[in-house]
Chains A and B, each alone.
Chain A
Amino acid sequence: KAGVTQTPRYLIKTRGQQVTLSCSPISGHRSVSWYQQTPGQGLQFLFEYFSETQRNKGNFPGRFSGRQFSNSRSEMNVSTLELGDSALYLCASSLDGRLNTEAFFGQGTRLTVV
């Protein structure tokens, strides 16, 4: 079956702009989580959505937001982009995010802010 699909794979934006990233989970998976990966901070959790509701949230400013649609596809949005937002953004899907369920990651979207 198809894996987690993230689009676009690469993106270049200018400071102050906003960006929307998309994630299509594995068919049947209802939980989608987002992570930011930078060389300095490593992999950091942004938020998790389950059945269109945000269930967990990391320590990121309000400029970072997300949503999940009824088909479990998810988007994350970053407004007023800063240079420090340059990172690899990863999406992970799991059946329902509960214990004993593994999460599968997409290949990520590499965002560069100039």
Chain B
Amino acid sequence: DAKTTQPPSMDCAEGRAANLPCNHSTISGNEYVYWYRQIHSQGPQYIIHGLKNNETNEMASLIITEDRKSSTLILPHATLRDTAVYYCIVRAFSQKLVFGQGTRLTINP
């Protein structure tokens, strides 16, 4: 079973920041937080991952709380092409990626 909890759906206006929350209250010390997204009928796309420090790349920022029990994925300037299902996953060494139901993010013009 997935070890994360995400809202089933969210909406965001184009050009605004999209903030996607994820709860992972049972995360272990050796587990990383990964974010993937899946645009309709395509393979999941890796976005970002982190352990305990905040991370930023060209796609997004990942904010992990100090107790590591929750995190937020931030898409700074959402576009229509960011409409997708976003998956938050916790994963440790050699473990498989366990996908939950994710958050269906809709970017509105």
Closest B-chain residue to A110, C-beta based?
Answer: B41
Binds A, one of B12-20, B42-50, B69-77: B42-50
Q: Count residues of B near A (Cβ-Cβ below 8 Å).
A: 24
Closest A-chain residue to B96, C-beta based?
Answer: A45
In the bound assembly, the distance between CA atoms of A38 and B95 in angstroms comes to 22
Does A43 contact B49, Cβ atoms closer than 8 Å? Answer: no
Minimum distance in angstroms from B56 CB to a CB of chain A? 15
Which A residues are in CB contact (< 8 Å) with B49?
100, 102
Binds A, one of B3-11, B60-68, B97-105: B97-105
If A56-B96, A99-B32 touch, whether A42 touches B43 (CB-CB below 8 Å) is no
Classify the secondary structure of A's interface with B: strand
Does B99 contact A43, Cβ atoms closer than 8 Å? Answer: yes
Which B residues are in CB contact (< 8 Å) with A103?
46, 97
If A102-B34, A105-B43, A107-B42 touch, whether A92 touches B97 (CB-CB below 8 Å) is yes
**B-contact bits for A77-114, CB 8 A (1 contact / 0 none):** 00000000000101010000111101111111010000
- Residues of B that sit less than 8 Å from A by CB: 30, 32, 34, 36, 41-46, 49, 51, 87, 91-101
